């Protein structure tokens, strides 16, 4: 506990007893105990709040990743459709070229 051993703790208690007096010492100890209990409670609330914030951050990252995955899927779908359209256009162009070549041979 803060590097204070038993002998040092006894000296501190003896000085407190002499300075404060035997009548006020129990009241001060009681107040100090209440303050420490409230401090521990506030610390526990802060820790749980930070854990909630961590959970929210993790959920936000997962949601963001899901949105990026959906965007990528949509982009792939649209790009794939454009490629299919381009392939169809190439096929039509190839057919026209073949028809033109056949017409030129007939002439």
Tokens of 32: 């100090």
Say how many C-beta atoms besides its own lie within 10 A of residue 16's C-beta. 14
pLDDT at 53: 75
Question: Domain span at residue 80?
Answer: 6-106
Whether residue 32 lies inside any domain: the answer is: yes
Classify residue 87: in a domain, yes or no: yes
Mean pLDDT in order along the chain per 10 residues (107 residues): 79 87 88 92 85 79 89 84 56 62 64
- Cβ atoms of 17 and 25 closer than 8 Å: yes
Provide the angle, in degrees to the nearest 10, between the axes of the packed helices 25-106 and 6-20. Answer: 120
pLDDT for 89 equals 57
Give the per-residue pLDDT at 9.
83
Tally of structural domains, the chain? 1
SS3 of residue 21 by DSSP: coil
What is the CA angle 87-89-95, rounded to 5? 105
Residue 22 forms part of a structural domain: yes
Buried b (16+ CB within 10 A) or exposed e, 59-84: eeeeeeeeeeeeeeeeeeeeeeeeee
pLDDT for 38:
93
- The answer to whether the pTM exceeds 0.85 is no
The reply to whether 67 falls in a domain is yes
pLDDT at residue 30 in the model: 92
Q: What is the pLDDT of residue 55?
A: 77
* pLDDT at res. 76: 84
Gyration radius (Cα) of the chain, Å? 40
Is 1 contained in some domain? Answer: no
């Amino acid at each position: 506990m803060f590097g204070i051993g038993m002998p040092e703790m006894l000296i501190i208690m003896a000085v407190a007893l002499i300075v404060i007096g035997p009548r006020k010492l129990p009241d001060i100890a009681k107040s100090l105990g209440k303050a420490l209990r409230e401090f521990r409670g506030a610390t526990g609330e802060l820790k749980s709040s930070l854990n909630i914030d961590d959970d929210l951050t993790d959920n936000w990252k997962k949601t963001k990743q899901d949105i990026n995955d959906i965007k990528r899927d949509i982009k792939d779908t649209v790009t794939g459709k454009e490629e299919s359209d381009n392939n169809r256009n190439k096929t039509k162009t190839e057919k026209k070229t073949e028809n033109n070549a056949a017409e030129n041979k007939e002439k």
